[in-house]
Amino acid sequence: MKYDYIIIGSGIAGLYTALLAKEQGSVLIITKGSIDDCNTRHAQGGIAAAIGKDDSPELHLRDTLAAGDGLCDIEAVRILVSEAPARITDLVNLGVPFDTADGEIALSKEAAHSVFRILHAGGDATGAHIEVTLSQRVRSSKIKVLEDCLVTEIVVQEGAVRGVNALDCRTGSVERFDGRFLVLATGGAGQLYKFTTNPDVATGDGMALAYRAGAEIVDMEFFQFHPTALRLPGVAPFLITETVRGEGGVLRNVNGHRFMPDYAEEADLAPRDVVARSILYEMIKTGADKVFIDATHLPRYVITTRFPQVYRFCLDHGLDINESLIPIAPAAHYIMGGVKTNSWGETSIAGLFAVGETACTGVHGANRLASNSLLEAVVFGQRIFERTGREVTPKTDATRPGAEVRVSLPKRRVLETAPPPSLSALQELIWEKVGIRRNQEDLSQAAGILATWQAGLPKPEDRPSHELTNLVATGRLVTEAALVREESRGAHFRSDFPHSFPEWQRHVILVKP
């Protein structure tokens, strides 16, 4: 059967786009897990929109551009902030239960936002509430959903998408699915790193698939590290929402010193990249593997009502954050780069679209403003719906204003001393060599090992081997882009080039040779 839309992924980007697309044709969602497995469920911070009395799209635009450190696509940001209120209305109409106060949607403030504009659902359970609402709508619709199926190849003929090949992870069989439009909504690549707030499914699948198909990939060097992930022995990193600091929590090192005023005028509410690096410096200075968030001075009702997930998770692990400091350290969180799209979600391949974290629309630039990611997913999901509804075959034009440098991955010598490839070895390598602080020597070592692994990996046959193949490919894209950008900007910091330069106010586009 040929579908009008094939959507790969089942986070908010994929589900929202699918619910729109069903009004224009047949829809197939393919997801390697269930439609309940995604990064969206972990999005605690909320969703940003200029709906407050003291706010405006212009203010939202200004804050987004400031965080993006000179690399935002202004047109894309203007679209994001101006269409935000309408998309919030759509989510309300779909049944998302945003928190209210005095009969109106309640708004909070997060780092680098100049006003209160963050909407929440269930306090710090925003992503979970949106995901559940949309997945219930999908399950009750006529949308076909294939779970436990991993797309292994995008089929491109005569420069246009024709369909996909997908592995049934339960039976091992591979099946071809044809479609007019293919939408990548596969999420991020946090599993590249040893410490990450992302779930196991975030393995860079969409970026690797698109690159192998010949699509342009951009801004991969910009990987945002969330500064505050729970650091407890034997406990996987758990995101401590920025709202904790937005409500007045402060960072202290292991000696009790409140250190953020030493690094930034905004102190604890500085942009994420600044806070993450500051924490790293404090950990190095004190010889510790963590710092702390102090929220003990906040009223108990603030802690239990504004971030109930954080409160309950910590309590379940023996930590009452009303009375005790929260041990934290940075962890990989969100990749600003991805499959290059224009303002309609189109990629450089006809019929191929991308939305959500796997896409690079240009709205985040070098550093994502908190709570703009869920918003981006719905704004550009809507625009894909509008674009595909206007033309039988949308023209392919993924160009965006701004300077660019186009590079192909260099051929690297196969190393005889590279460690054997494995998920843990990859995560350790990327964390140590391509992490918060980078330099030429570390990046070159990582690039050599990744190229060696890429050349020697056996043909993948099951989900774990496909995911490892995709992670190695995505890791190379991140590493090679970081080598090309010889400056520090936004989330990309190189100790051998610690300053930004005007000539690097351009994008690194990776293309298949």
What phi and psi, each to the nearest 5 degrees, are found at residue 481? Answer: -65, -40
Dig out the tokens for 448 from the structure: 């050599």
Q: Which strand (E) or helix (H) includes residue 451? A: helix 440-456
Nearest Cα residue to 329 out of 172, 435, 175, 440? 435
What's the CA gap between 122 and 43, in Å, rounded?
A: 12
Q: Is 272 in the active site?
A: yes
Q: What sections of 28-73 are H helices per DSSP?
A: 57-68
Are 155 and 176 in contact by the 8 Å Cβ rule? The answer is: yes
Are 177 and 167 in contact by the 8 Å Cβ rule? The answer is: no
Q: Is 101 exposed, middle or buried (0-12, 13-18, 19+ CB in 10 A)?
A: exposed
- Tell me the DSSP string of 366-384: TSPPTT-HHHHHHHHHHHH
Q: What sections of 200-271 are H helices per DSSP?
A: 205-213, 243-246
Q: Is 173 exposed, middle or buried (0-12, 13-18, 19+ CB in 10 A)?
A: exposed
According to DSSP, residue 421 is labeled P
Are 225 and 331 in contact by the 8 Å Cβ rule? The answer is: yes
Describe the strand order of the beta sheet including 118-119 as a list of residue ranges: 47-48, 118-119, 107-108
What's the CA gap between 420 and 449, in Å, rounded?
A: 10
Q: HSE-up of 321 (CA within 13 Å, CB side)? A: 29
Task: Enumerate residues 6+ apart whose C-beta is below 8 A from 32.
Answer: 148, 149, 150, 151, 169, 201, 205, 463
Helix (H, G, I), strand (E, B), or coil: what is residue 166? strand
Out of 78, 272, 383, 400, the active site residue is 272
Helix (H, G, I), strand (E, B), or coil: what is residue 312? helix
Residue ranges with strand state E in 123-159: 144-146, 149-157
Q: Residues with catalytic annotation?
A: 272
